[in-house]
Structure 1
Amino acid sequence: MNEERKLELNKLYDESSDVYVKRYKETQLEKFKLVRRDRLLRGIVLDAGCGPCFLREYIEEYFGIDISQKLLLSCPKERVVRGDVERMPYPNSTFDTVLSITVLQNVPHKARFISEIKRVLVPGGMVIVT
């Protein structure tokens, strides 16, 4: 993600963080319920573009990454980092599942994001993107 676009997204999400939680929490949880219903989640899960960590309480081995520092304020400090989903700070083959709900449309370099997901996912792992 180029630096200008990152700053733009960070500012947008920081400025709208209070509204974001009120507006999107139920929608995000509904999408997650479909995933959970079909038992798609397993093992160590990365929530790429986690925002305010809506899903944290539903996933035992949860890790999150998001570009917005302000959205991350409501997240637990452990296992959640501020970062760029196009350059994730995790070793290769770390996660059994990578979950990314309503993020892809905001990523400027989609192929780079998908490559990063592949890199941090264990062989045979599950990818869930909406």
Structure 2
Amino acid sequence: MKHKNTIKSRYDDLGGSDYDMRYTEEQLAKYELIMDELPEANLMLDNGCGTGLLFRFIESSLVGLDLSSELLRTARERVNDVQYLVQGDSEYLPFRDDVFDAVVSVTVVQNLMKPERLPIESARVSKPGSNVIISSLKRVYEKVEDITSIVECDYLMLNRVFTDENINDWITVSTKKQ
């Protein structure tokens, strides 16, 4: 629990405007890269939504989850009527099984105490056949195999890995097994 409180405090202290100033350009480049991997979805989860930058790309209903109340406060200013924000834990998602048509977790996994929980929880809350996108910082997971070994689990089939040298993350695209 101490680790989670440290992460939450770090992002709360950073605040939404500083977060956006520091990370917007980098995060938007990642979102642009994954948009083709997100087919029309009725309901999507942005797990680790931060300040809600992904919301500008998505026309379907989107649920944003983040541990930081300060980042969610900024996201609240950015969302429209069909978006929902939840403060919660990425390792233990507060949603029913088989709810989402897609789950996106961009630059979240390296902040987790138990990173192997992220693909398991993402698969649990997504519908069978749904895409699950997980990205991780290359400076934390230095080799692509470091992240694919976490993402490949009993519930997900790894389809693709973006290794673009201009992006600071490895981006994995998986499908929830039927």
TM-score (norm 1): 0.91
Which structure is richer in relative contact order (CA contacts within 8 A, separation 6 or more)? 1
Determine the C-alpha separation between the residues in 2 that align with 1:127 and 1:30: 18
Deviations, residues 6-32 of structure 1 (Å, cap 9, x unaligned): 110110001112321101011111110
Aligned-pair Cα RMSD in Å: 1.4
Output the CA distance in 2 between the equivalents of 1:30 and 1:7. Answer: 29
Is residue 2:92 matched to residue 1:87?
yes
Percent identity between the aligned chains? 37
Count of residues paired in the alignment: 127
Match of 1:67 in 2: 67
1:108, distance to aligned residue in structure 2 (A): 1.2
Which residue among 3, 10, 27 is the counterpart of 1:5? Answer: 3
1:48 aligns with 2:53: no
Q: 3-state SS of the aligned residue for 1:71? A: helix
Native 8 Å contact 1:48 1:99 kept in 2: yes
Contact kept in structure 2, 1:35 and 1:41, CA below 8 Å: no
Q: CA deviation at 1:39?
A: 4.4
SS in 1 for 2:56: helix
Separation (CA, whole Å) in 1 of partners of 2:110 and 2:21: 20
**Which residue of 1 is the match for residue 150 of structure 2?**
none
TM-score w.r.t. length of structure 2: 0.67
What residue is the counterpart of 2:131 in the other structure? 126
| Matched-pair contact (CA < 8 Å) for 1:68–1:82 | yes
Gaps of 5+ in 1: none
Structure showing the higher strand proportion among its residues: 2
Amino acid at match of 1:14: D
Which residue does the alignment assign to 2:26? 27
3-state SS, counterpart of residue 116 of structure 2: helix
For the pair 1:113 / 2:112, whether they are aligned, the reply is no
- The 3-state SS of whatever aligns with 1:55 is helix
Q: Hey, what's the Cα distance between the residues in 2 that align with 1:69 and 1:41? A: 29
- For residue 11 of structure 1, give the secondary structure of its aligned residue in structure 2: helix
